[in-house]
Structure 1
Amino acid sequence: MRLILISVLALVLFSSCGSSKPRVVTTVKEQEKIKPVIRTKKDAKKSEHVVFVEKTEEDKRASKITNYALDFKGTPYKFGGTTKRGMDCSGLVYTSFKTEDVELPRTSRAMSLQGTRLKLDEVNEGDLLFFETNKNRKVINHVGLVVGFNDEDILFIHSTSSRGVIVSNFSEAYWQNAFVMARRVL
Structure 2
Amino acid sequence: MSPFFKENYAKTFILFIFLILFTGFLSSCSSSKKARNKDIEKVISTARSYRGTPYRYGGTTRAGIDCSALIFHAYGSVGINMPRTSESQSKVGKSVSGGKLQKGDLVFFATGRRKKQVTHSGIVTEVSNKGVFFIHSSTSLGVTEDNLGNSYWKKAFLFGKRVL
TM-score normalised according to structure 1 size:
0.68
Aligned-pair distance for 1:136?
Answer: 3.5
1:156 and 2:134 aligned: yes
- Tell me the equivalent position of 2:46: 68
Shift of 1:137: 6.4
What is aligned with 1:166? 144
Bigger mean CA deviation after superposition, 96-105 or 128-137: 128-137
Matched ranges for 1:1-186 at <5 A: 56-136=34-114, 138-186=116-164
Could you tell me which runs of 5 or more consecutive residues in structure 1 were left unpaired when the two chains were aligned.
Answer: 1-53
Post-superposition CA distance 1:92-126 (Å, at most 9, x none): 00111011110111000011110100122221111
Contact 2:138–2:144 (Cα < 8 Å) also in 1: yes
Give the whole-Å Cα distance in 2 for the aligned partners of 1:107 and 1:156: 18
Using the TM superposition, give the Cα deviation of residue 86 of structure 1 relative to its aligned residue in structure 2, in angstroms: 0.6
Structure 1 segments (4+ residues) deviating >6 Å: none
d(CA) in 2 for partners of 1:79, 1:107: 11
How big is each residue's C-alpha offset from its partner over 1:150-177, in whole Å with a ceiling of 9 and x where there is no partner?
Answer: 4240010000111100000011010010
Structure of higher CA gyration radius: 2
Provide the aligned C-alpha RMSD in A: 1.5
Deviation at 1:139, TM superposition (A): 0.9
The structure whose RCO (Cα within 8 Å, separation 6+) is larger is: 1
Aligned residues: 133
**2:101–2:127: 8 Å Cα contact kept in structure 1?**
no
Letter in 2 for 1:86: G
| Secondary structure, aligned partner of 1:95 | helix
Identical positions, percent = 36
Deviation at 1:80, TM superposition (A): 1.2
The structure richer in helix per residue is 2
